[in-house]
Homo-oligomer: A and B are copies of this chain.
Amino acid sequence: MDFDLNDEQRLLKDSVDKLIATEYEFERRKRHAAEPDGWSRALWAKYADLGLLGLPFAEADGGFGGGPVETMIVLESFGRGLVLEPYFATVVLGGGLVRHGASAAQRAALVPRIADGSRLLAFAWMERQSRYNPADVKATARRDGGSWILNGEKSLVLHGDVADTILVTARISGDQRDRAGIGVFIVDASAPGVQRRGYPTQDGLRSAEITLADVRVDATDTLGEPGDALALVDRVTDEAIAGLCAESIGVMAAMHEITVEYLKTRQQFGRPIGDFQALQHRAVDMFVALEQARSMAIFATMMAGEADPAERRRAIAAAKVQIGRSGRKVGEEAIQLHGGIGMTMEYKVGHYFKRMTMIDRRFGDADLHLATLARMGGLFG
């Protein structure tokens, strides 16, 4: 066991950190947010140049062969910058489905275009009634000769407004919440019958509501086993949650640093408020919460590739619980210790707080994952 980065990982981290520190300086971030898509196409090209967009894909497919640790490095840094570009949607979610579910031919078609930045992906798994259950699918896929015909409505599709390719879960057979009978379909966003309505999210990203009306895709445009793709979805979801954990560490660490810095500089009653022991101890409790979360983000990274789905799910659920709880504590305390200034859009800490709050609500909140973990018997035999 070795927690140190190797030379390549260190290089990756340094270059991403440097890029984000520059490009995601607070005022510059506002400019990215003001662009038409709500993020920067120019930066997206830079990510491609740096190899970040192809990072997790096999070299044979045109990627750079990075593993979970490399993804963790990138996402932690992106969390620290509150990055707006659709990296998570395209590379982590979409890319995950491609890596684990695509045929060689599909990979040959998709990976180079993801890696060079010319194709954006989104993963449309949620529906109005599904809450966090990816098996709760009403959208249908019906075979028609050499095609599938898709119908239904998908909701809260992260960066679905800009995606070129939308990966859609739809039901081929079975009842509304059956685990069997689900397929993942590769839908071109410009295909006839695809309608989408984009909107901002609370944390400055974008999502979309997507309607599919008799959308025709080729019979081969499926990922995983049509009718048995939920295992693929679970696997990618678990990987994605590990990614959210890594992103959270960047978010939390930034909030903690900003808060400690504020305690050192903000004067009240003739001295820095960081002199007050009650506030010191609360900053320490934030730090402990952060370090515990960091440990679980590492654990999630370790276990994201675990072959046994039950083991993997328990580990990921545990990590999501810790991230959610630590994140809430660190975020709420960051705001409280700042006082009024933390409540304003003009100051950065509130934006971290909002991102952290939203991360807890993606793929199920801490309560839900705790219930899952408890139902599965906990972590220790």
Contact = CB atoms under 8 A, between A and B. Distances in A.
A172 to B, nearest CB: 40
A174 B276 CA distance: 64
A277 B281 CA distance: 10
Interface in A274-302: 276-278, 280-281
Chain A interface mostly helix, strand, loop or mixed?
A: helix
A374 to B, nearest CB: 14
A281 B277 CA distance: 10
Interface size class of A (residues with CB under 8 A): under 10
Interface in A337-360: none
Contacts of A278: 277-278, 280-281
- Most chain-B Cβ atoms within 10 A of its Cβ — which of A276, A277, A280? A277
A278 B280 CA distance: 8
Contacts of A276: 277
A117 B280 CA distance: 57
Nearest to A275: B277
Contacts of A280: 278
A284 to B, nearest CB: 10
A151 B277 CA distance: 62
A87 to B, nearest CB: 41
A204 to B, nearest CB: 35
Contacts of A281: 278
A367 to B, nearest CB: 14
Contacts of A277: 276-278
A278 B281 CA distance: 7
A280 B280 CA distance: 13
A156 B271 CA distance: 58
Interface string A26-54: 00000000000000000000000000000
A217 to B, nearest CB: 47
A337 to B, nearest CB: 13
Nearest to A279: B277
A238 to B, nearest CB: 31
Interface in A244-300: 276-278, 280-281
A3 to B, nearest CB: 32
A280 to B, nearest CB: 7
Nearest to A284: B278
A277 B278 CA distance: 5
A141 to B, nearest CB: 41
Nearest to A281: B278
A222 B28 CA distance: 82
A277 B279 CA distance: 9
A379 B180 CA distance: 42
A347 B334 CA distance: 40
A276 B276 CA distance: 9
Nearest to A276: B277
A42 to B, nearest CB: 48
A156 to B, nearest CB: 29
A285 to B, nearest CB: 11
A355 to B, nearest CB: 29
A151 B321 CA distance: 50
- Most chain-B Cβ atoms within 10 A of its Cβ — which of A276, A278, A280? A278
A50 to B, nearest CB: 45
A317 B81 CA distance: 48
A92 to B, nearest CB: 38
6 contacts: A276-B277, A277-B277, A277-B278, A278-B278, A278-B280, A278-B281
Interface of A: 276-278, 280-281
Closest 5 pairs (CB-CB, A-B) = A277-B278, A277-B277, A278-B281, A278-B278, A276-B277
